[in-house]
Structure 1
Amino acid sequence: MRLPVGMDGLVERCHAYAQHRGVDFAFSHWTAALLFEAPLPRRDDSPIHVSVPAPGRAPEIAGFVGHKLSEWATVERMGLPVTTPEQTWIDLATMLVPTELLVIGDYFVSGRHPLSTREALARAIAASPGRRGIARARQAIDLIRVGSESPGETRLRLLLESAGLPAPRPNLDIVDGDRFVARVDLAYPDVCVAVEYEGDIHRVDRAVWRKDIRRRERLEDIGWRTVRVTADDLSQPAELIARLRRLIPSG
């Protein structure tokens, strides 16, 4: 199995620990999220998080952080026991700021083979009253949406909604009669406006750049306006928000 870039060392360390520990443990928190390939914020050095069912004894090993969990359920990921996506998300509420937690929530409920659902995440919240970070999880759950395909899309959607613009539809397929035209990141179909988040690959990959041009021209041919957004727009959004307010009068 081909591992994501930078993951082979982590997986090797986890397997070495699993052989030593044997049973009654699971990788959790930040480590579980990495094994789920979730889009965590970058950290150059992070300890391995291991949980055991309460009242068991959490591991005390250099380079590892031990936890005890009263709610105990695990799944297998990369041949390793990990806490469920729902438990992992709840655990991350103690480690991430709200926007980062929302990005992970969108990731878990989206994609071709979602790892969880909003309903399952909500049940995990209900099963964890009083836990540290649970208020942050409650705040995030109502903002999670199915359909996001990248952290940039989630952050962009949250920015537009927090600015008072109508909620866009994520990853909408645009058709012209029976003909597929394009799939756009965020869409306002009532006014034929598409908002596309442009990561670095759109700039450095020539094939992607050419594909973007063709998509934009096909959309223009059927009367759609495309607004292209970069990371700079997310950090300094005033001009972007003003332009979208002109294009979406109801916002």
Structure 2
Amino acid sequence: MKKLLLVLLLGFVTLPGFSQLKSYTLSVHGDTLNRVDAKGLKQGPWIIKVENLRGERGYEEEGYFQDDVKQGTWKRFSLENGVKIAEENYKWGKLHGKSKYYTYNGGLVREESWRAMDPGKKFDTVALYDVNDPGKEINRIVVKNEGLAVKHGKWVYYDPVEGVVVETETYALNKLVNADGSVTGEDEIKPIGLTKYTPTVDSLGKKNVAKPQAIMDFEKKNAGKKKVKVRDGSTGM
């Protein structure tokens, strides 16, 4: 990755087009990076450098902020040799879609699949597909929205030297899908027949009138349960 010479400008600026920015940096090509708006929120393209610390290798990552949260594709590069070591996708500041991770020599190690939960919804509904026939929808799962990203879709593990697949896993909203299509921990999520319910708000944001009985049962069953700590896909920024 090309090294950029950045010039830091602090405070409110008066250059045309940037009067609403509190601070930003300029590349040698005149591009504005690391923008902070008048409200103190990160906006637009950013480059973040993390130095080596306590044996942990440093890296530099680049991507896009929208209203202070990561959005879209972010790429991470080694400080040592500039090799790409990660490529992640974000929505609402949480992992969403495919993420790929590499060794410091460039070998692909793992592909992950995430689904960010819309922070504006209390529940979300997702289709569950047949493991052996990805185009066949066999059920739908409705879950309470905890404002996190969840494992959803296929995870693939590679031998980084040979480049061959060594293991695959399929998840449905953080639950492991078995070879027969059943879901591990089905007592904690509620599969609902496709013809037996109409969700209040579905994944596409379409509004319906009545809250289904299944959701009310889910709320009652899980009321007061202690939350379990899981990797949630948040950025930590």
State the TM-score, normalized to the length of structure 1: 0.27
Identify, as 1 or 2, the structure richer in strand. Answer: 2
Identify, as 1 or 2, the structure richer in helix. Answer: 1
